[in-house]
Amino acid sequence: MARTANLLVTSRHPQTLPREDFAVDARMQAASVAANAGSPGLLSGWPALLLALIVAAAAVYSFSHRPLPPFPQTMTKADGLLVTGLAQSGERRIAVGELGRILIADAASGPWREVSVRPQRGSTFTRVIFTGADTAIAVGHDGWIVRSTDRGETWNEVVFDPERGEALLGVAGPFDGKLYAYGAFGQYLVSGDSGQTWLHEQHAAIGDRHLAAMTQARDGALLIVGETGLMARSTDQGATWAKLPEVYKGSFYGVQRLPDDALLAFGMRGNAFLSVDDGKHWTRSEVPGGLSLYDSMIDNDGAVILVGENSSVFRSTDNGRHFSMMMEGDRKRYASVLPLSGGKGWLVAGEAGIGLQNEPGDVAAKADTRAAQGVQR
């Protein structure tokens, strides 16, 4: 048994070398290192020098100036912008909207091209009009007014009022040689030199109400409409204003002079009113659906078109007395509309950007899906 136990202990604890054997082994390893120290290796001599030169050259190249590679042209989808206003002169179309962006096109189907605004403030535009064949005016937030004299190719700032900070919601004219810009909290500006300079005015009949739209009646009087049922009339080119009797308590968003010289005012929840005596008296028009109405136009065949909430389009063939709903889409609103040249349908703009709308029914095509597939910058 004692022998068996000794064997087990020996197997579990390997035999150790004497101290003198360790010393011999260490001397042999030291001699081997010394023998190899003087022999040439792969990273010594000229190969090491060559590698160092390659690394240095790579470092110099990495930090050296080189021209940028060509990048694809930046494109902005015309159906991916908030577009608040449209205008047309001949075949030239202008669209304005968020972040101070202005687009132009020479066909309703595009391509739409973004143009320069100097300086670019980044404030949202609200409306745009042509005041002549080549001259256009756009207005927006922060009292911003810009002007173009080359059919919208370039734009220059004429007014910017960030300290006042109120939005201009519309621009109208020229009426008897004057332009008018108006908006939130009674903002009211007049220009007598085609929009090159503007003067602020205040009028008691307007007060501090939001002003939305203006037109000129057959007799030369001006009519302005706005929030909480505001209607005011001027017979002296806007020098003084008289408030008209209230026809309803909601806000108006637009007013249009019709082909028969009647006046149509429209606004919240499908409310629309017609005047056949230059704005002195008003009767309610029939508009189904109860949807808010934001813009109007006269179609190629003389019909009156209203657009608004839920991508809705309404049409009247009896000079604004009765409207029928042509279509209703998603919850996004149409803010502006133009007729299509030589066809049935409309160019519409709003929260979903710019689009072509057939009459009646479905969208024919988004304005950026033909030809250019987007906005060229």
pLDDT (tens digit per residue) in 74-125: 555 677 789 999 999 999 999 999 999 999 999 998 899 999 999 999 999 9
pLDDT (tens digit per residue) in 287-324: 999 999 999 999 989 999 999 999 999 999 999 999 99
Those residues with Cβ within 8 angstroms of residue 36's Cβ, 6 or more apart along the chain or in another chain: none
In terms of C-beta density within 10 A (0-12 exposed, 13-18 middle, 19 or more buried), how is residue 218 classed? Answer: middle
Q: Is 339 helix (H, G, I), strand (E, B) or coil?
A: strand
Per-residue pLDDT of the chain (377 residues; tens, 9 = 90+): 443 333 333 334 444 444 444 444 544 444 444 444 444 545 567 777 777 788 777 777 777 766 666 645 555 567 778 999 999 999 999 999 999 999 999 999 889 999 999 999 999 999 999 999 999 999 999 999 999 999 999 999 999 999 888 999 999 999 999 999 999 999 999 999 999 999 999 999 999 999 999 999 999 999 999 999 999 999 999 999 999 999 999 999 999 999 999 999 999 999 999 999 999 999 999 999 999 999 999 998 999 999 999 999 999 999 999 999 998 888 889 999 999 987 678 999 999 999 998 876 444 444 433 333 355 54
Q: Cα separation of 67 and 44, whole Å?
A: 38
Domain borders along the chain are 18-66, 76-376
Number of neighbouring beta carbons within 10 Å of residue 269 = 15
Distance from CA of residue 370 to its chain's centroid?
Answer: 20
CATH code for the domain defined by 76-376: 2.130.10.10
In terms of C-beta density within 10 A (0-12 exposed, 13-18 middle, 19 or more buried), how is residue 229 classed? Answer: buried
Buried b / exposed e across 194-209, counting CB within 10 Å, b at 16+?
Answer: bbeebeebebebbeeb
Q: Cα separation of 330 and 207, whole Å?
A: 36
